[in-house]
Amino acid sequence: MPEIQSYTMNFGPQHPAAHGVLRLVLEMDGETIQKADPHVGLLHRATEKLAESKPFNQSIGYMDRLDYVSMMCNEHGYVLAIEKLLGVEAPVRAQYIRVMFDEITRILNHLMWLGAHGLDIGAMTVFLYCFREREDLMDCYEAVSGTRMHATYYRPGGVYRDLPEQMPRYQPSSFRSQKDLARMNEARSGSLLDFIADFTDRFDACVDDYETLLTDNRIWKQRTVNIGVVSPERALQLGFSGPMLRGSGVAWDLRKKQPYEVYRSLDFDIPVGVNGDCYDRYLVRIEELRQSNRIIRQCVEWLRANPGPVMIDDRKISPPTRVEMKDDMESLIHHFKLFTEGYCVPAGEAYAAVEHPKGEFGVYLVSDGANKPYRLKVRAPGFAHLAAMSEMVEGHMLADVVAVIGTQDIVFGEIDR
Amino acid sequence: MSQKIEALAARVEQCLQGKVTRVTSSCGELTYVIAPSDWRAVAEQLRDHETLRFEMLIDLCVVDYLHHGHSEWQTEDATRSGFSRGVARDAAAQSHFAAAQGETATPPGQRFGVVCHLLSLEHNVRLRLRAFCADDDRPMIDSLVDVWASANWYEREAFDLFGVLFRGHPDLRRLLTDYGFIGHPFRKDFPLIGEVEVRYDPASGRVIYEPVSIEPRTLVPKVIRDDHRYQPEIHDEASYREAGNRA
């Protein structure tokens, strides 16, 4: 009888460490991976085709659902592509609001990543810590857009509305004492900006907390150091971007290299790894948390000092206010046309990319002059990363597959689209 | 920014003389159309030539130009029929619409455009390349997998969704659609509602596929308005008046 050299193992799609619905077909030699074949598409919703059948603005909500842990950044890419074709630019205040929420989103995403990655490779506690801070940021989302996750807040030409003057508060209830209520509402007595400012003051200490749990933790290092090493040359070949590329030592960040919105006038640093392993990518993301916090602080300061419009004053793109609409015929017509037909975008094509928490999120938009996109292609960072899965896990043990999935920060909403 | 683009254009055109045709862009991007037969060779040169150095393939996708420039509702003059009557549900009207589309179908060899976006980290520039597959029935183009490894999955996706074959691809399987899926769903002639639906059949005790039971509908018609409202002259009043006088 011939000796069996390798065998095939199925991993997922229903596996808690598969970050959604990843099915991996692993060819193993003992416990060593020889080849990994990811089967994706279990969450394929044809977002790009759906967008072709709708006016431009109606697809913004679909963008939230692509990478459903960094919602507003997805919207940002889409909205920028439309603005590029229309040849318009959002008012400065809207740009600051967008940047602030991009960075809030980055923290949201990295916290989710840190918690889940920790949980996957045996660090339970950090998950609970991360979700404590996520909750506050979700409240910022809710305060500004009305929803905790799928905000649909960015619009071509600005943002949907200005920041609220009053941060929503917890209401008295029979389940919590007066003392608890007062404590919970402590940071919420002022505006949204006050709440965010309070968060930025607290957050650096929170990051220290996570680091005490992980950075020098022996088990954490054993699970991440020298796992999934990618050389800088290979990272470029494989189309890596974001922390995956920076972890390998390539100092490339669109916020610095091809600045969009107001990133040019903000002060922040780009962390870069050395070895290109899971541990370096962890360090890069942790530092990004601190840098994002720094950016948010600058935005809050600017936004406090500079009131102004948050939407361009072009009735062919942005709808009039309700008040205008009620007593002005032309406004009524504009409103009607915008919400039934939408706006027509000049024929042409544009590619707009943002530095999404996971990497370069690009939107390629082809318009034939109609009120709907002719073709929308979303360049999801995770797609290129997952494509390199086989290469990254080759020669590692089965348990390291989980570490690599975690370090790639896989979210299936954007990979399957 | 535009200076940088022009400088890059000069370098590309010098390096790839006669192989590239520049496409005008309104938003400061550089796009070249190339012959499908040059696809691989041009890609390799763009990657390796020292004045270009496009180290990274950011994205590769296909655009189906079948309905490009066709609106679903004619709005040139005031219509007696509203949109709902304009696209009546009955078969005759449907086929009439299809025929109207057919009259001005894209010329042969212009349907499937393969588009790739390149990024040069060294020079900090982007470039878009496009080639049209020569044969509309069996669209085929060279694979770029051995130029940029990231092309692997992008090409699998493009094959899956549009049916474009990539010559020399090591593993051209479907990627996103279901196991055993038939058709290429992102083609413009593939219905948005799909062809089949799936449900659990208690009688046979397994999941079965059936033709779709829902009807296709268009909620918002696609209209193309040629009123030039975004042209820069309109915003510059003086030149607008001048243009009006000329007309």
Shortest Cα distance, chain B CAs vs residue A138, angstroms: 31
- pLDDT score of A297 more than 80: yes
Burial bucket for residue B28 (CB in 10 Å: 0-12, 13-18, 19+): exposed
Mean pLDDT of B18-43: 85
Contact status of B246 with chain A (Cβ, < 8 Å): no
Q: The sheet that has A32-39: what strands, in order across it?
A: A7-11, A23-29, A32-39
Long-range own/partner contacts, residues B18-27 (CB < 8 A, 24 or more apart): B23/B130, B25/A348, B25/A349, B26/A85, B26/A87, B26/A346, B26/A348, B27/A84, B27/A85, B27/A87, B27/A348, B27/A350
Q: Which one of A89, A250, A351 makes the best mutation probe of the B interface by having the most chain B beta carbons within 10 Å?
A: A351
B117, A362: Cβ pair inside 8 Å? yes
| B223 neighbourhood in chain A, CB within 8 Å | 341, 344, 370-371
Mean pLDDT of A238-260: 91
Partner residue facing B124 (CB), from A50, A258, A350 = A258
Partner residue facing A86 (CB), from B175, B192, B230 = B230
Contact status of B214 with chain A (Cβ, < 8 Å): no
- pLDDT score of B110 more than 60: yes
| A416 neighbourhood in chain B, CB within 8 Å | 176
**Nearest of B111, B242, B101 to residue B164 by alpha carbon:** B111
A40, B175: Cβ pair inside 8 Å? yes
Mean pLDDT of B24-49: 87
B224, A348: Cβ pair inside 8 Å? no
**Nearest of A352, A359, A355, A358 to residue A376 by alpha carbon:** A352
Partner residue facing A341 (CB), from B26, B176, B220 = B220
B229, A54: Cβ pair inside 8 Å? no
pLDDT band at B99; cut points 50, 70, 90 = very low
| A316 neighbourhood in chain B, CB within 8 Å | 229
The C-alpha atoms of residue A309 and residue A94 are separated, in whole angstroms, by: 7
pLDDT, tens digit (0-9, with 9 covering 90-100), for A172-223: 888 888 898 888 888 888 889 999 999 999 999 999 999 998 898 899 999 8
Contact status of B2 with chain A (Cβ, < 8 Å): no
B61, A44: Cβ pair inside 8 Å? no
pLDDT band at B96; cut points 50, 70, 90 = very low
Q: How many CB atoms lie within 10 A of CB A416?
A: 23
pLDDT, tens digit (0-9, with 9 covering 90-100), for A116-138: 999 888 888 899 999 989 999 99
Contact status of B193 with chain A (Cβ, < 8 Å): no
Contact status of B150 with chain A (Cβ, < 8 Å): yes
Partner residue facing B27 (CB), from A85, A341, A417 = A85
For all residues of chain B together, what is the average pLDDT?
80
A417, B176: Cβ pair inside 8 Å? yes
pLDDT, tens digit (0-9, with 9 covering 90-100), for A309-351: 999 888 888 889 889 889 999 999 999 989 888 888 888 899 9
| A54 neighbourhood in chain B, CB within 8 Å | 219-220
Beta strands B125-132; A348-356: pairing state: unpaired
The C-alpha atoms of residue A19 and residue A25 are separated, in whole angstroms, by: 16
Least confident of A121-130, A265-274, A359-368, B4-13: B4-13
A364, B229: Cβ pair inside 8 Å? no
- pLDDT score of A71 more than 60: yes
B3-246 classified as CATH 3.50.50.60: no
Mean pLDDT of A90-112: 93
Q: What percentage of chain B carries pLDDT values higher than 90?
A: 25
Shortest Cα distance, chain B CAs vs residue A264, angstroms: 14
Mean pLDDT of A246-253: 91
Query: What is the pLDDT, as a whole number, of residue B180?
Result: 85
Query: What is the pLDDT, as a whole number, of residue B247?
Result: 41
| A387 neighbourhood in chain B, CB within 8 Å | 150, 152-153
Least confident of A13-27, A256-270, B147-161: A13-27
Query: What is the pLDDT, as a whole number, of residue B237?
Result: 53
A371, B222: Cβ pair inside 8 Å? yes
The C-alpha atoms of residue A392 and residue A310 are separated, in whole angstroms, by: 44
Q: How many CB atoms lie within 10 A of CB B107?
A: 10
Place of tokens 């709708």: A54
- pLDDT score of B246 more than 50: no
Q: How far, CA to CA in Å, does A331 sit from each of A223, A310, B119, B229?
A: 61, 19, 43, 17
pLDDT band at B217; cut points 50, 70, 90 = confident
pLDDT, tens digit (0-9, with 9 covering 90-100), for B127-174: 999 999 888 888 999 999 999 999 999 999 999 999 999 999 998 999
Query: What is the pLDDT, as a whole number, of residue A290?
Result: 93
B25, A348: Cβ pair inside 8 Å? yes
More confident residue, A135 or B84: A135
**Alpha carbon of residue A117 to chain centroid:** 16
The C-alpha atoms of residue A263 and residue A320 are separated, in whole angstroms, by: 29
Query: What is the pLDDT, as a whole number, of residue A15?
Result: 78
Partner residue facing B222 (CB), from A48, A350, A372 = A372
Q: Which one of A53, A234, A378 makes the best mutation probe of the B interface by having the most chain B beta carbons within 10 Å?
A: A53
Shortest Cα distance, chain B CAs vs residue A199, angstroms: 35
pLDDT band at B78; cut points 50, 70, 90 = low
pLDDT, tens digit (0-9, with 9 covering 90-100), for A85-99: 888 889 999 999 999
Selection from A275-284, B3-12, B68-77 with the highest mean pLDDT: A275-284
Query: What is the pLDDT, as a whole number, of residue B1?
Result: 60
Contact status of B61 with chain A (Cβ, < 8 Å): yes
User: Which residue of chain A comes nearest to B150, CA vs CA?
Assistant: A238
Beta carbons of A252 and A241 less than 8 angstroms apart: yes
**Nearest of A319, A361, A357 to residue A338 by alpha carbon:** A319
The C-alpha atoms of residue A5 and residue A1 are separated, in whole angstroms, by: 12
